[in-house]
Amino acid sequence: MSKIKEVIVVEGKDDTKQIHKAVDADTYETNGSALSNADLARLRKLQASRGLIVFTDPDFNGERLRKMISAAVPGVKHAFIRRDQGAPDEAHGSLGVEHATPATIKAALAHLYTQTSEPPEDPFTIRDLQAAGLTGNSHARHRRERLGAILGIGYGNGKQLVHRLNMFQITPAQFTQAMTKIRQEENG
């Protein structure tokens, strides 16, 4: 197994243990949802020398950390797991990367996204989500969850999803292909 060049940013030691079961990589543990200026300075230095992959939990605090790092450290890559992939068994606690299988971790690391500061040529709007049935109906939440899973960009409400589609430069063709798959799943 070859070593991953980038440093993977995780929330804690249990995440690191699970990452090491899946891949050979160095991790940087944030030890929770707070990042100090010293942490951000270290992350900037790591990004400049080796690159970073942000791989936080699919929950509120994980998303908060992801946004803080993205704002402070341009060009980081992102790996996502779905909420159900990070769900604990009955004997363990909170939702997170530490509960993902090695296969799930490898798959997430195989589908990385890089945030860019430049808007794509054809940015998505809330109207695109409305037209695709991703807002304003009883199936919208499930469809957004599936779209985020298929595209590997995680779940978001309507506003967050528009932001993610644009931030990760999802193309109209990728969007259409994912929506086709969702409709096929819904129709049996």
pLDDT digits (tens, 9 = 90+) for 1-16: 678 999 999 999 999 9
Structural domains of the chain, count: 2
Residue 87: predicted pLDDT: 80
What's the chain's Rg over C-alpha atoms?
17
Which residues sit opposite 114 in a β-bridge?
Answer: 77
Judge whether 166 lies within some domain: yes
Question: Over the stretch 45-68, which tens digit does the pLDDT of each residue have?
Answer: 999 999 999 999 888 888 889 889
Query: Are 60 and 83 contacting, i.e. CB atoms less than 8 angstroms apart?
Result: no
Tokens of 81: 């797991």
Judge whether 1 lies within some domain: no
Does the pTM surpass 0.85? The reply is: no
Q: Provide the domain limits for residue 169.
A: 126-186
Q: What angle do CA 39, 42, 43 make, to 5 degrees?
A: 85
Domain of 103: which CATH number?
A: 3.40.1360.10
102 and 152 inside one domain? no
Residue 132: predicted pLDDT: 94
168 and 104 inside one domain? no
Judge whether 141 lies within some domain: yes
80 and 132 inside one domain? no
Read out DSSP for 110-168?
Answer: HS-EE--SSPPSS---HHHHHHTTSSSSTTHHHHHHHHHHHHTS----HHHHHHHHHHT
Residue 120: predicted pLDDT: 46
Helix (H, G, I), strand (E, B) or coil at 31: coil
**Sheet-wide strand order for 52-54:** 27-29, 7-10, 52-54, 77-78, 113-114
11 and 104 inside one domain? yes
Helix (H, G, I), strand (E, B) or coil at 86: helix
Residue with the two structure tokens 């940015």: 123
Judge whether 120 lies within some domain: no
Helix (H, G, I), strand (E, B) or coil at 54: strand
22 and 98 inside one domain? yes
Residue 168: predicted pLDDT: 79
Q: What is the mean pLDDT of each run of 10 residues along the chain (188 residues)?
A: 88 94 94 85 94 91 89 91 78 78 92 65 83 93 92 87 85 92 91
109 and 134 inside one domain? no
Residue 92: predicted pLDDT: 59
Break the chain down into helix, strand, coil percent, rounded to 5: 50, 10, 40
Q: Where are the alpha helices (DSSP H) in 7-59?
A: 13-22, 37-49
